[in-house]
Amino acid sequence: AQRVTQPEKLLSVFKGAPVELKCNYSYSGSPELFWYVQYSRQRLQLLLRHISRESIKGFTADLNKGETSFHLKKPFAQEEDSAMYYCALRGSQGNLIFGKGTKLSVKP
């Protein structure tokens, strides 16, 4: 089965604290994973892809095939990071399979 699991519905941290949004996947084969973000009143947009190994807005995510995880991390959270975050897996048909999302709230 192809599946993405985001175990936390809501994650609340204080400004300046580290943040880790968890994502686990189920996929037979070589996975391609993404993180999407949806800020309030904005459209869903790509944050980063595992194949590009980039850091966007201070966020990084490393694919761990042994643990089938693709957790999103940032060492120092900012208030403007407050948003809905979705982990996604490219399915065998090419379509993206999304997790249920985690709402990140960064408190001042």
Partner 1 sequence: DGGITQSPKYLFRKEGQNVTLSCEQNLNHDAMYWYRQDPGQGLRLIYYSQIVNDFQKGDIAEGYSVSREKKESFPLTVTSAQKNPTAFYLCASSTTPPGVGYTFGSGTRLTVV
Stretch near partner 1 under the rule CB under 8 A, chosen from 14-22, 53-61, 73-81, 89-97: 89-97
Q: Partners of 20 in the beta sheet?
A: 73
| Minimum distance from residue 67 beta carbon to partner 1 (Å) | 21
- Whether residue 56 contacts residue 83, with contact meaning beta carbons closer than 8 Å, is answered with no
By the rule CB under 8 A, 77 interacts with partner 1: no
By the rule CB under 8 A, 99 interacts with partner 1: yes
CA torsion sign for 56, 60, 40, 26 is positive
In this chain, which of 27, 37, 59, 101 binds partner 1, going by CB under 8 A? 101
CA-based nearest residue to 86, from 50, 32, 47:
47
| Minimum distance from residue 72 beta carbon to partner 1 (Å) | 15
What character string, x for contact with partner 1 (CB under 8 A) and - otherwise, covers 13-52?
Answer: ---------------------x-x------xxxx--x---
Residues 6+ apart with CB under 8 A from 41: none
| Alpha carbons 26 and 73: distance in angstroms, whole number | 20
Binding site for partner 1 (CB under 8 A): 6, 9, 34, 36, 43-46, 49, 86, 88, 90, 93-101
